[in-house]
Amino acid sequence: MSEAPTACVLIIGDEILSGRTQEANLKYFAARFAELGVRLKEARVIPDDADVIVGTLNTVRALYSYVITTGGIGPTHDDITTACVARAFGRSVVRHPGVVEKMTAYFGDRLNEARLKMAEIPDGPDVSLIESETTIAPGYRIENVYVLAGIPSIAHAMFEALAPQLERGAPMLWGNVGAAVREGDIAEGLTAIQEKFPSVAIGSYPSMRAGGFHTSIVARSTDAEAIGKVLAAVAALMRAQGCDPVRDT
């Protein structure tokens, strides 16, 4: 079986780093990539700084099959993503005539230079629009980079529009089991289970709940049978500690 395609998400915006805005796209992208069989390998949150955006984009687009960017394609002065993407690829910025036409029909007398900024894309015949019913302003694709809006409802709709274009691998499956047990009490046993099932990624996630400590074990793999065996072994490990394992949510 060939290796699954890989992806990186770049979340662009000072408002995320300042804590003023809560990032709400990564969870969605991660879940959808898993379903599509694309391995999300990295996510970075970077500021509205041109040099940082260009340098980061050029680094990650060489490392991964796909790069998704969110944020910075609106009408304001700090929406600099498109200019940075064009610079990273050595392209000029142009206004897409079809988008300008749609904006003219939609906004009429309210169309101004700020709104026309949302019709800008890097130059080149290989640049294609990513359109959705949620907005008249599109995202776009340039080589292996997909540039999306930051607003979650729009970003998610754009992702669904681009999803059919992606090469796919085997979907990543998962299952979990949890119990009122401390991580330290099952750590040694978990290590042995992981060594026995190297094709399954096993994660341990402790928390405090009513009644005390709780540990949830998540198993991820493309092999459903292997996941079942891992969870059965983990459940037995928890029972050996006098705990009653249950499937977590």
| Per-residue model confidence as pLDDT tens digits over 134-193 | 999 999 999 999 999 999 999 999 999 999 999 999 999 999 999 999 999 999 999 999
Residue type at position 141: R
Please name the fold of domain 173-240. Alpha-Beta Plaits (3.30.70)
Give the C-alpha separation, 234 to 68, whole Å. Answer: 35
111-150 per-position pLDDT tens digit:
999 999 999 999 999 999 999 999 999 999 999 999 999 9
Confidence category of residue 1, pLDDT binned at 50, 70, 90? very low
Helix, strand, or coil here: 48?
Answer: coil
> Does the pLDDT of residue 104 top 50, yes or no?
yes
What mean pLDDT is reported for the chain? 94
Please name the fold of domain 6-165. Molybdenum Cofactor Biosythetic Enzyme; Chain A (3.40.980)
What is the DSSP secondary structure assignment for residue 58, as one 8-state letter?
H
pTM of the model: 0.88
Q: Taking residues 201-228, what's their average pLDDT? A: 91
Residue type at position 158: M
Give the C-alpha separation, 51 to 205, whole Å. Answer: 37
Q: Which residue intervals of the chain bear CATH 3.30.70.600?
A: 173-240
Q: Which residue intervals of the chain bear CATH 3.40.980.10?
A: 6-165
Other C-beta atoms closer than 10 Å to the C-beta of 196 total 12
